[in-house]
């Protein structure tokens, strides 16, 4: 009886060893077979607006240094993909990634949308920003024929009089509260501010008395809306609720209504 039990255990151990040996020889082929390979063409994302590049997925994977033989069977892949998409400057909010085998990838996220084009100091160029003053790539607005570029820019007002260059990278805040406030005004005007005849949002910053003056409480910037016919609407300052830098003060809605009335007149 004891010999039979020992023999049974021996057979089980031998069988397990054979399975482990076979798995270790098959494992590499299975993990890195083409059937389970990460393929940018098999990603499924929400419908993208025109300013999102067609190579968006390729750019995300390249920036995150994904290799050509990545496998969807890698247990760490969802976490790595989540970090890669969340880091892209065009992604406002990443929600989740779902893998359906053998190799279909579903990504749920929100894209960032530009609300205005911010001219660099000295007129040396521009960058789009979203409603929170986030710096975005300008490729979409600089590629194509002159007519195509003009059509792409038309819905978006230019922000001029910018007092500073951006201090961060794409996906970071511009780093200047006056730009962030101008972007919020552009967002309040709506996606088609150009249709209303608004060409630009002018930032008016009070100059320092001299180069050596330290202003502990500088005057807040003023803003003007410049219409296509040259008329100027004085918006004034832009204020947020005390203690909540993301929520505009209710008087900003009053200014917006005054602007709409001004447009009608």
Same-domain pairing of 41 and 124: no
Q: Is residue 186 situated within a structural domain?
A: yes
Same-domain pairing of 92 and 128: no
pTM over 0.85: no
Q: Is residue 28 situated within a structural domain?
A: no
Same-domain pairing of 154 and 224: yes
Q: Is residue 22 situated within a structural domain?
A: no
Decide if pLDDT at 44 tops 90: yes
How many domains does the chain fold into? 2
Q: Is the peptide bond before 102 cis (omega within 30 degrees of 0)?
A: yes
Tens digits of residue pLDDT in 133-144: 999 999 999 999
Query: Among 125, 246, 120, which Cα is nearest to 181's?
Result: 246
Q: Is residue 202 situated within a structural domain?
A: yes
Tens digits of residue pLDDT in 187-223: 998 865 666 677 899 999 866 555 555 555 678 999 9
Tokens at 30, concatenated: 């299975």
Q: Which domain holds residue 100?
A: 35-111
Same-domain pairing of 151 and 224: yes
The DSSP output letter for 45 is -
Same-domain pairing of 142 and 243: yes
Label residue 176 by pLDDT band (50, 70, 90): very high
Q: For position 3, what pLDDT does the model report?
A: 59
Q: Are strands 126-129 and 116-119 parallel, antiparallel or unpaired?
A: antiparallel
For the purposes of burial, counting CB atoms within 10 Å of the CB of 235, is it exposed (0-12), middle (13-18) or buried (19 or more)? Answer: buried
Same-domain pairing of 106 and 131: no
Planar angle of CA 250, 252, 255, nearest 5 degrees: 125
106: three-class secondary structure by DSSP: strand
Q: Is the Cβ–Cβ distance between 215 and 188 less than 8 Å?
A: no
Tens digits of residue pLDDT in 71-84: 888 889 999 999 99
Q: Is residue 122 situated within a structural domain?
A: yes
**Domain boundary residue among 54, 89, 111?**
111
**Domain boundary residue among 80, 111, 142?**
111
Same-domain pairing of 103 and 121: no
> Across the chain, what does the average pLDDT equal?
84
């Amino acid at each position: 009886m004891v010999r039979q039990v020992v023999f049974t255990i021996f057979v089980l151990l031998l069988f397990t060893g054979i399975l482990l040996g076979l798995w270790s020889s098959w494992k590499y082929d299975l993990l890195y077979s083409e059937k389970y390979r990460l393929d940018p063409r098999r990603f499924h994302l929400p419908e993208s607006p025109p300013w999102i590049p067609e190579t968006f997925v390729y750019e995300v994977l390249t920036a995150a240094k994904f290799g050509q033989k990545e496998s969807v069977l890698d247990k760490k892949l969802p976490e790595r993909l989540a970090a890669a998409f969340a880091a892209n400057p065009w992604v406002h909010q990443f929600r989740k990634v779902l893998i359906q085998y053998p190799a279909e990838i579903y990504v749920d996220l929100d894209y960032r949308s530009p609300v205005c084009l911010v001219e660099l100091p000295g007129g040396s160029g521009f960058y789009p920003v979203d409603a929170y003053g986030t710096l975005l790539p300008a490729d979409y607005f600089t590629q194509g024929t002159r007519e195509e570029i003009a059509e792409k820019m038309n819905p978006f007002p230019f922000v001029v009089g910018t007092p500073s260059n951006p201090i961060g990278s794409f996906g970071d805040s511009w780093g200047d509260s006056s730009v962030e406030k101008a972007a919020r005004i552009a967002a309040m005007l709506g996606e088609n501010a150009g249709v209303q005849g608004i060409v630009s949002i002018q930032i008016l910053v009070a100059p320092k008395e001299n180069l050596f003056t330290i202003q502990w409480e500088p005057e807040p910037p003023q803003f003007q809306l410049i219409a296509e016919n040259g008329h100027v609407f004085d918006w004034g300052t832009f204020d947020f609720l005390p203690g909540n830098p993301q929520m505009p003060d209710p008087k900003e809605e009053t200014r917006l209504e005054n602007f709409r009335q001004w447009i009608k007149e």
